[in-house]
Structure 1
Amino acid sequence: MIYIYLLVINVLAFWLMHHDKEAAKAGKWRTPEKRLWLFAVIGGAAGIWAGMIQFRHKTKHPSFQIGVPILVLAEVFIVARYFIG
């Protein structure tokens, strides 16, 4: 069940990065950074990171450059430690 949750949250996080990038280019309403961080913290860090790379979005923000990869490592460690064995 945890794997389905992680898949869904990371797909949503990736989509959110795409949506925010498109909104930025079009000058429309943007997704607040707090919401992007929320998705990263609740398990979607890999999706946020993939979106950063794929869409070249938030890549100049030091908090995203450093924080998101650290969260990815932390989430991998947590899943490996508590759900794989």
Structure 2
Amino acid sequence: MTNTQAILLILALFNVVTFCVYWWDKEAARDWDWRVSEARLLQFALFGGSLGAVAAQKLLRHKTQKEPFRSHLRFIIVIHITAFFLWLSAPLWLTYLPTLAP
């Protein structure tokens, strides 16, 4: 298994965990039980679980109307998309980086 495959596997598993945490919070909301804080839900999304968070929002209809939660999650998604494209393009721009050094 390559490093890239390992990273993708870890991210996939973390997204499954994130989805489960959102599901748990949704069930707790229905049962008037102890809830997962919004800050914790956003932390799961920020640390790599943004796809799981979005899937939970869409499939479970959880936290879809809550502001500023929605805006924060969208911002996290923008960060992740930017990081993904930087990671994909790294072989291109890393070759030019040494030429920019004085």
Q: TM-score, normalised by structure 1?
A: 0.86
Q: Does the C-alpha gap of structure 1 residues 21 and 51 become closer, same or farther in structure 2, counting only changes over 3 Å? A: same
1:63 matches 2:75:
no
CA distance in 1 between counterparts of 2:80 and 2:70 reads 16
Higher relative contact order (CA 8 A, sep 6+): 1
Q: Percent identity?
A: 31
1:50 offset after TM fit, Å? Answer: 1.1
Whichever of the two has the greater Rg, that structure is: 2
| Helix, strand or coil at the partner of 2:68 | helix
> Equivalent residue for 2:9?
4
1:60 offset after TM fit, Å? Answer: 1.3
Unaligned runs of 5+ in 2: 1-5, 90-102
Pick the aligned partner of 2:20 from 10, 15, 38. 15
Unaligned runs of 5+ in 1: none
Please say which of residues 3-12 and 69-78 is displaced more in the overlay. 69-78
Q: Provide the aligned C-alpha RMSD in A.
A: 1.4
* 4+ long deviations beyond 4 Å: none
CA distance in 1 between counterparts of 2:49 and 2:69 reads 13
8 Å CA contact 1:49, 1:69 repeated in 2: no
Q: Deviations over 1:11-45 (max 9, x none)?
A: 11111111100111011111111210110110111
Pick the aligned partner of 2:53 from 12, 25, 48. 48
CA distance in 2 between counterparts of 1:80 and 1:12 reads 24
8 Å CA contact 2:42, 2:72 repeated in 1: no
CA distance in 1 between counterparts of 2:9 and 2:68 reads 28
1:8 offset after TM fit, Å? Answer: 1.1
